[in-house]
Amino acid sequence: MLAHDDIGATRERIETPTAECYIEAFNDINTDPKQELIVVDEDGQVAGCLELTFIRGLSREGMVRAQIESVRVADHLRGQGVGQQLFEHAISRARERGCGLVQLTSDKARPDAIRFYEQLGFTASHEGMKLKL
């Protein structure tokens, strides 16, 4: 699903068998207690997924925050509540872990995703920047 949109198609690889870089990343996420991969299963198939990372910082009195990344929903299931399920679970996990906020970034080229996040209550409170290395 990472490569199933215009943006992902330019930066992800679809290979059989799965490229080693993805297997290594999955193993790192799977063994890191500060990361979770949340998956919605629909009849044995991945319907949607996201990565959830718990970050403790010095600001906001040492608050722990949850960072959501790599949100994907299968094309044929968009608009059917899969994304809502993913976010409800992620927010619940963030509360269980004592997080004070949940944050995410979204590519400006994904206006539908941005609208979805706003409908969930997220606000564009900061200007995000990235530096490609």
Which of 92, 99, 91 minimizes the C-alpha distance to 122? 91
The pLDDT value recorded for residue 128 is: 85
Lowest-pLDDT choice from 7-16, 30-39, 66-75, 113-122: 7-16
Residue 14, token pair as written in the block = 């679809």
Which of 23, 79, 84, 25 minimizes the C-alpha distance to 51? 25
Q: What is the pTM of this model?
A: 0.84
Average pLDDT, the chain: 88
The residue type of 92 is S
In tens, the pLDDT along 33-67 reads 999 999 999 899 889 999 999 999 999 999 999 99
Residue 75 lies in a domain: yes
Backbone angles phi, psi at 129, to 5 degrees: -135, 155
- Paired with 35 in beta bridges are 53
The tally of domains found in the chain comes to 1
- Paired with 36 in beta bridges are 52
Q: Quick one: what percent of the chain has pLDDT higher than 90? A: 68
Residue 1 lies in a domain: no
Domain of residue 84 covers: 34-119
Residue 23 lies in a domain: no
The pLDDT value recorded for residue 3 is: 46
- Residue 73, domain CATH: 3.40.630.30
Residue 61 lies in a domain: yes
In the numeric block, the tokens 């509540």 are attached to 81
